[in-house]
Structures are given as structure tokens and as C-alpha cells.
Amino acid sequence: MGSEKVKAYYNSIAADYDHSRFENSYGTFIDKAERKLLKRWLKSNKNVLDLGCGTGRFLDLASQGSDFSDEMLRIAGKKYPEKLLHHAAGSSIPAENDSLDAVFSMHVFMHLSQSDIQDIVNEVYRVLKPGGTFIFDFPSSKRRNLVKYKANGWHAATSFDKPAVLKLLASKFEIEKSRGILVVPIHRLPNFIRFIFQPADWLLSHVGFKWYSSYIILKCRKK
């Protein structure tokens, strides 16, 4: 799929990204659920990297951010001039070994190849302190198989099931917590009633339907 294609795409949409992706009922629905979870899982961490921070949607929850799209990072810098921002690929984090309390990466892995993702996991392992927290999300293969989803090109093309995730993390990380988001097909509901389903989605995507949610978010601990 090529990381340069991904970079070029996000450079091209950076100026309108916040408005087009998250200033609507669907984007607001996702953001609210993700933010609630990140706040809960990151509350005891101080030195936190938002890996693939984009235009800075979650930079208020991090001490620093990194992204390989210079245009996305430029916008993030305008929003958060006080934050330390790095123009870097996820496989080359500008941090010392065992130096970070936590790293989170949202809506990143889904666009990358398996080998690129593995490189990032290895790099996150390098920079995290022993016992450090790694949070990331990915599309659920079970959900995609259920709805017969077919990716169009590289965009959101990569998904995982639980065995594949365990293989990805191997001996480096153990999963502490997991949660699904969007078990309810919100995009098929009228805009004006989507918010009503937020509590139901929060409940259903945590219990028996977790791996049939659109996205899975994991909280992992460095071994």
C-alpha cells in the first residue's frame, strides 16, 4: 500500500480534516467514545506520546505528538504551540529507550501494512518504560466478515482478530483491557437520533458483542 501514498493523502486533506471528519454527528459520536476511554486509561500517565497525532484531536491528552504528515502536524502546532511535536514516522520515534510512560495511536494501524505495523509495535516497545502503557485501535475482522466489508485500496484496509493481535504483540506486550466502539451501525441511522444510541453502543460494545464492533481499542502493558 505504501506509506508515501498515505502521507500524500493526509497532506492533501489536512486543511479540511477536522471539519470533514469530526464536525458531524458520526464523527462526534466516535470522538466522544474514544475520548472517554483515553481519559480513563491515561489518567495516571505524565510523559505521553500521541503517535500519529494528525491535526491534534487528542493532543490535550498527551505531552507530545508525532506524525509523518507535515501538513497535519503544521495544523496541530497552531492548535497546541506549547506541545513538543515531532515530524517522524511511527517506526522512528525520536525518544530515548525506556523513556515514555505511555503511547497511544488512534486510527493509524488500519491504513498500514502488517510489516509497517510490526515495525511500529517494536519501536513503541523500545521507547516505553518497563510496564508502560500502549493504547491503539484497529478495525475488527469479525465485524468486517459479518457485514462482508471490502476495502477499497489502502484506506482502512487492515483489520485484526484476536489471534492476529496476540501474534502482533508477541512477547513484548500483554493486553490489560479491551473495548469495542460502534457495534451499532450509526452511519445507517438518521443524524438527529444518533446521539440517543451512544449509551447503548457503549454497553453493547463492551460485553458479548465486543469483537463484532467496528473498532477495537486495546490497552497493553510493556512486559
pLDDT tens column, 103-116: 999 999 999 999 99
pLDDT tens column, 188-203: 788 778 888 888 888 8
Counting residues of the chain whose pLDDT is more than 70, the rounded percentage is: 99
Question: Once rounded to an integer, what is the mean pLDDT over residues 115-129?
Answer: 97
Counting residues of the chain whose pLDDT is more than 90, the rounded percentage is: 70
CA separation (Å) from 37 to 96, 104, 149?
Answer: 27, 11, 26
> What is the reported pLDDT for 118?
96
Locate cell 498500514: which residue?
112
Q: Does 1 score more than 70 pLDDT?
A: no
- Quote the DSSP letter at residue 140: B
**Which residue in 124, 129, 110 sits closest to 44, CA to CA?**
129
The string of DSSP letters for 149-165 reads: ----TTTT---B-HHHH
**Order of strands across the sheet that contains 64-67:** 84-87, 64-67, 48-51, 100-105, 128-139, 215-222, 173-181
- Quote the DSSP letter at residue 20: H
Q: Structure pTM?
A: 0.92
> What is the reported pLDDT for 186?
79
Catalogue all structural domains in the chain, each as residue range(s) with its CATH number: 3-222 (3.40.50.150)
Residue 4, burial from CB neighbour count under 10 angstroms (0-12, 13-18, 19+)? exposed
pLDDT tens column, 131-185: 999 999 999 999 999 999 888 888 889 999 999 999 999 999 999 999 999 988 8
The pair phi, psi for residue 82, each rounded to 5°, is -85, -10
